[in-house]
Structure 1
Amino acid sequence: MKKLVRMDDLQVFVCTVDSGSFSAAARQLDISPALASAAVQRLERSLGIRLLVRSTRRLRLSDEGLRYLPHARQVLAALVDGEVALEQGRGEITGPLRLSTSSDLGRNTLLPWLDQFQAEHPGITLELRLSDQVADLFGDRLDASIRYGQMADSSLVALPLAPDNRRTLCAAPAYIARYGAPRTPQELAGHNCLRYVMGEQTYERWGFSTAQGLQTVAVTGDRVSDDADVVRRWAVAGLGVVYKSRLDVYEDLRTGRLVELFPQGYGLPAPLHLVCVHRQALTPALQALRAFLQARFAQLQPLPGAP
């Protein structure tokens, strides 16, 4: 007769698969690697099968482990759903919430919204990290990250917050009055383009979806920063042209501090997601935050774009 499966062992198994090693899973779960390894071995004994094939360099799922994994995820997801139902029944959401997001979106859009979210849920303690570098959800022990674009790591869970968001090319009225406005992507060669750095790479090839198809142009300028909010501030000061997520410059466009230069359809898609390591990481606090942010983004009023 097989032994009963412990839920904590099941969680360690799924976390080990998602993170790729016992040590990474241990860091995320705040246990020792030895305990993580022992939990998976105990689960294997309970099931009477080998779940992971171990070598000196890496772990991989066995055939049995591959078949068992979706069922393990389903069991853990059911537990999370049960916790959410209980929390909703009590009307109270508590606990830590560790988030990462980009500098511009965090400072200029999310910060007041997160204040309101905490006011509605005073039992939540918030840790907010602002960086334009891609966060390491495992290494930094984050619950979630709010990111633009498609996820390069297919093992992560990306839940849409603003799926229809796009980039926009814009400049301050003072810059336009002095230097004029580019009418085509090719005319950007004659303008001071404000650029930012992602990782080790400067974002200086700007793509646009025009009537003639996708057009990518190399741009130059006299300013570059690894902080996208600094780049936005340079644009508001009239120092150049900027190509950013429309959400990042929403208030600047609404108040007239910046003006869109190309039609809205020219900007490439920049969907915004709430990203976590796996669905079992969707705590009641994260699910409540996702619903809250989705509603706030949906309430943003459409802005008139360039003709």
Structure 2
Amino acid sequence: MLRFDDLQLFVRTAETGSLSAAARMLDVSPAVASAALKRLEQQLQVRLLARSTRSLRLTPEGELYLVHARLALQSLEEGRQQLVGSQEGIRGALQLSAPSDFGRNTLLAWLDEFQSEHPQLQLRLLLADRVADLFRDPVDIALRYGAPEDSSLVALPVAQSNRRVLCASPAYLARHGAPQTVDDLTRHNCLLYMLHGRVHDRWRFHDGKREIALSVRGDRICDDADVTRRWAVAGQGVVYKSWLDVADDVCEGRLQVLLPDWSGEPTPLYLVCAHRAQLSKAVHLLREFVQQRCQRLLDAAPWH
């Protein structure tokens, strides 16, 4: 029979990439940790980890089994929480991935409020613009713009009516004027975002009847979406951003929406996970919490 502590050690070793680090996290000796992994591999009759004196990595079988091991541990934890009783609220650890700009400038304050309502919940927040691998990375759920291309993932809508808006700071507009047409953007310094080595310099707009797509240029490109927003607030150029990322800047007057008669590209926000078994009470509550706060921002969007 598989042992809970053996599964826990395997998952922690895979997440940290180090047997000794996993042993320290679980407060056991390296010898005990090594014996646990050997015992697990013997019971499964497969090699889960390829180990050498300097490195440790998952085998293909280990990558496959890691998904099931995580789900098993999560299921056991959820069962323990249910036994404790719902009157004590949600508890345990929740690992969440979110885009850098939305995470830092919008979500962070919301999570503080959420944890104050659920003080026994531990959050592990991973902020990055790269798409987290929900099968390999130490992540339970992810907030992502756009529906996932992988149909095997579970995607729940959070802010479906969100879309991109064109913005610039009052200081930039005082120096360069505001574009009066979409074509005027070719004469402005457009602040560009890059993901996976591809620069997103093709901006699309529609007015309800026709769609216009044009290539734009600028003197600044970054692979961190938060940086492009900061450049715009500092008056360095025009930016094309998710409304959820810039709503507070617009409401506080740091940015102004340009060409309001033209709608930007749809940018729906989803909560994504690898399996429906991960949709715990904590996840449902967090989704509802974020959904309500996103709606408040969307109610103030220029297209409403």
3-state DSSP of counterpart to 2:144: strand
Using the size of structure 2 for normalisation, the TM-score is 0.73
3-state DSSP of counterpart to 2:254: coil
Cα distance in 2 for residues equivalent to 1:218 and 1:264:
20
Match 1:263 to one of 260, 263, 268: 260
3-state DSSP of counterpart to 2:244: coil
The percentage of counterpart residues that share the same residue type is 48
- Mapping of residues 1-307 of structure 1, within 5 Å: 89-263=86-260, 266-300=263-297, 302-303=299-300, 305=302
Deviation at 1:96, TM superposition (A): 0.8
Residues 216, 301 of structure 1: alpha-carbon distance in 2 compared, 3 angstrom cutoff: closer
Deviation at 1:219, TM superposition (A): 0.8
Deviation at 1:300, TM superposition (A): 3.1
Structure 1 runs not aligned, ≥5 long: 1-5, 13-22, 41-56, 59-77
Residues 118, 196 of structure 1: alpha-carbon distance in 2 compared, 3 angstrom cutoff: same
Alpha-carbon contact 1:146-1:272 (below 8 Å) kept: yes
Residues 191, 36 of structure 1: alpha-carbon distance in 2 compared, 3 angstrom cutoff: farther
Cα distance in 1 for residues equivalent to 2:269 and 2:145:
4
3-state DSSP of counterpart to 1:97: strand
Deviation sequence 1:29-75 (CA, Å, 0-9, x none): x99799699779xxxxxxxxxxxxxxxx99xxxxxxxxxxxxxxxxx
**1:207 partner amino acid:** R
Deviation at 1:264, TM superposition (A): 6.2
Alpha-carbon contact 1:173-1:258 (below 8 Å) kept: yes
Number of equivalences: 260
**2:206 partner amino acid:** S
Structure 2 runs not aligned, ≥5 long: 16-21, 23-35, 46-59, 62-74
Cα distance in 2 for residues equivalent to 1:242 and 1:286:
32
Cα distance in 2 for residues equivalent to 1:232 and 1:150:
23
**2:236 partner amino acid:** L
Deviation at 1:103, TM superposition (A): 1.2
Deviation at 1:146, TM superposition (A): 0.7
Residues 144, 37 of structure 1: alpha-carbon distance in 2 compared, 3 angstrom cutoff: farther
Deviation at 1:302, TM superposition (A): 2.9
Using the size of structure 1 for normalisation, the TM-score is 0.72
Residues 124, 304 of structure 1: alpha-carbon distance in 2 compared, 3 angstrom cutoff: closer
Deviation at 1:118, TM superposition (A): 1.0
3-state DSSP of counterpart to 1:138: coil
Deviation at 1:256, TM superposition (A): 1.2
